[in-house]
Every structure is written in structure tokens, then in C-alpha cells.
């Protein structure tokens, strides 16, 4: 319940605030990815994958969406599963998931023939997204996992 609410709040903040702020180098952090990672760290791999799938479906239908339906559902389901496994502790898991999320999304887009995925996308936009997401990750992960450490 709380994981789903944090994902919805992250999606609304992403669409209504973050995507509208002009950041240097033209990128933006991925709050939904971080919310899925935080919830999966608390709940485990299977709930993380399910939450990631439904979060991805929300991202897929939320305007402006210029990609195929189910693309981000697949990506966030895999990220949720990996985050739920917690390989190497929370910090390592967050960094790993922040790295594989945008790269996996670009790979899936390339596999389905999306013309917007170019070498320039992989060398300019993806690294900026990764850096911004890593910079904001401590705040979002703390907000999504704070109930876990309160006991």
C-alpha cells in the first residue's frame, strides 16, 4: 500500500514538477525508478517486480508518452526484482538499479526499432539522467524506506 502510494506520488511529482524544470544538460532525475527501488528494498523481489510492473504501466500511459505500451512496465519490473534481491547492500543496489534502468530502457527501445535511440542518446542523454537520478536518490530512497528503519 505505502509502496504504491509512493510510486503514484513520485509519478505525479515527475510529471508536474521535475519534467518542467529546465536542468542543465537537458536531463531530469527518474523519481518513479527510485520509488520502485525504495519499495522493492523494503518488500523483496516478487513484490518489487509487481510494483515495478504496475508503476511502469502508469508511466506508459501518462502523457507525454511517445513509446510503446508496456516498455517501461518491463523495464521497471526487472529493476524492481533486482532491487528486491538487494545485491551487496542498499547503496550498491540503488547505484546498480539507477545504472541499469535507463540503459535497459534504451536497449528495449533499440530492440523494438525506436528511431529516437541513437548513439547521441546513449552518450548524452542517458548519462545525464543517471547522474541526476543518483544525485537525488538519497532523498527519495530515504522517503520510501524510512518506515523500515523506524523500528
pLDDT tens for 54-98 read: 999 999 898 777 778 889 999 999 999 999 998 788 899 999 999
Provide CB contacts within 8 A for 55, sequence distance 6+.
7, 11, 32, 35, 36, 76, 80
pLDDT value at position 151? 46
In contact, 89 and 41? CB cutoff 8 Å: no
Residue 79 and residue 97 in contact, taking contact as beta carbons nearer than 8 Å = yes
* Least reliable range by pLDDT among 11-15, 90-94, 101-105, 121-125: 121-125
- Predicted confidence at residue 73, as pLDDT, reads 94
Mean pLDDT of 143-147: 77
Is the pLDDT at 105 greater than 80? The verdict is: yes
- Please check whether residue 31 is in contact with residue 11, taking contact to mean a CB–CB distance below 8 angstroms: yes
Overall average pLDDT of the 35-56 stretch:
94
Percent of the chain with pLDDT over 70: 95
When computed from its CA atoms, the radius of gyration of the chain, rounded to whole angstroms, is 14
pTM, full prediction: 0.89
Amino acid at each position: 500500500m505505502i509502496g504504491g502510494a509512493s510510486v503514484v506520488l513520485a509519478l505525479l511529482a515527475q510529471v508536474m514538477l521535475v519534467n518542467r524544470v529546465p536542468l542543465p544538460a537537458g536531463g531530469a532525475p527518474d523519481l518513479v525508478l527510485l520509488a520502485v527501488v525504495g519499495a522493492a528494498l523494503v518488500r523483496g523481489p516478487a513484490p518489487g517486480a509487481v510494483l515495478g510492473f504496475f508503476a511502469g504501466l502508469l508511466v506508459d500511459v501518462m502523457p507525454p508518452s511517445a513509446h510503446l505500451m508496456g516498455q517501461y512496465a518491463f523495464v521497471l519490473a526487472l529493476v524492481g526484482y533486482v532491487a528486491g534481491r538487494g545485491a551487496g547492500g542498499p547503496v550498491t543496489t540503488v547505484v546498480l538499479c539507477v545504472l541499469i534502468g535507463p540503459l535497459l530502457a534504451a536497449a528495449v527501445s533499440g530492440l523494438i526499432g525506436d528511431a529516437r535511440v541513437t548513439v547521441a542518446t546513449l552518450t548524452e542523454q542517458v548519462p545525464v539522467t543517471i547522474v541526476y537520478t543518483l544525485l537525488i536518490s538519497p532523498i527519495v530512497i530515504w522517503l520510501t524506506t524510512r518506515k523500515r528503519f523506524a523500528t
